[in-house]
Structure 1
């Protein structure tokens, strides 16, 4: 393919509506064209073109093997076409054929460009080049939540059956809507099961939106035999001949009040003050407080 060659030496001037004159010069001797302006007011006053209009022109110039550089009194503003654009700038322009100039030349256009929002601007925000992330320390952010409403997630107990005793029917479920659900053989128990003590265990819904098993009789399984246990989905509770499993939907089985941090910050979770209750929140694995 024959290389394009341009020979240009042209002086020009532009007079705006206020009568101000801008002088410029276009030069080329080969494939590199330079357009120099002695003031940037015409560019700033016209507004910056959006990137989607600039990219096709830059691609066309690159295919022709030509580069066009626009310069102001403080140095190069932008180069289009056959240029070597840094990777950091390609992230902004999304084109390897657009190379931004120095910050001193860009700033006047950036200030004017903010006043005339139109599409995607050609120039990036006024950050130092090369682009680096802004780091601010000592930022205090409000703790957000991934949890639903208190008591959400349909907390329930499911009667566990093994392969030998399962008849193909859906296992029995018992919802846990109350703050305290009692289990035992006594007539006043919420869940009455033969062969257990009159009050064998309680499941308490505490102020931290946790469901806690409090045993009064012998219990085993994946819970504590001697003290309270915070229940998590899949926890099994064996009481006499009865085996129950606790389930709560994942979005609500959180492990910390209204937000869930259990397992989310490596192995150790620092205690934090809950501004809603005034209490210190700890990792749920530390047990019931």
Structure 2
């Protein structure tokens, strides 16, 4: 039986009888006997072990873009299969969460919303946070949840986490539409909402969140192949991280003594920028937003390296 270190090639069926095996100390290769191949016979696919941790093979990922979209479709079907309400849960979940926050944090805890209507204030934070948390949690289990696929057929492993990012963008757009409906209602009503031109940064914020969730998710996906209990720890950590992000409270309500801790969280400036752009409340700083982008790129770089390293041997440990 050939191991994962072999290089596989596909070519016309009538040339299959020309195969022979070359073995060296560095790599084992399956190649055709080129003396019996005509000029019209060409390999259609070459699969070889990575020679560098930075070898991302993005061109190969692009050629498998149809597979990415199939994974996106699979995520939707598997999530809402055999459910009564189906995709309506896209709207129910953020609404129920928002109403809960209004009752607990707004009316009972009396947390300030800087004079903004509580419903639209919490909805803004939830819309942003849901996309990041779903991307992180789903990507973190990509190896363990799809081991049965990875062990049977070859495709660029990076297509799987990328499909999660894209499918969650679709979920975000649906929930974003719900937020816009509530936002427009209060805007027409004459509430203290003052949108500005920073609304144009929304796609940028979405990209930063997606890359941040992707990078952190790939790091945890590599770790959970050996340490399964990290999955439960991550679920708890995401909840704690939400409280370290100004989702249910404005940044201005914090004491300067502890504000720097919250600002160290790269999600803080993203949430604050989104809220400032649509509601005119909160804070915005190009410096803090640039900091979030820089941290995101570093985490994505580290996560990609770890992901590439683990994908070679994860089937032996999962």
TM-score, normalized by the shorter chain, greater than 0.5: no
Q: Which has the larger share of strand?
A: 1
Q: TM-score, normalised by structure 1?
A: 0.17
Q: Whose Rg is larger?
A: 1
Greater RCO, CA 8 A, separation 6+: 2
Q: Which has the larger share of helix?
A: 2
Q: TM-score, normalised by structure 2?
A: 0.16
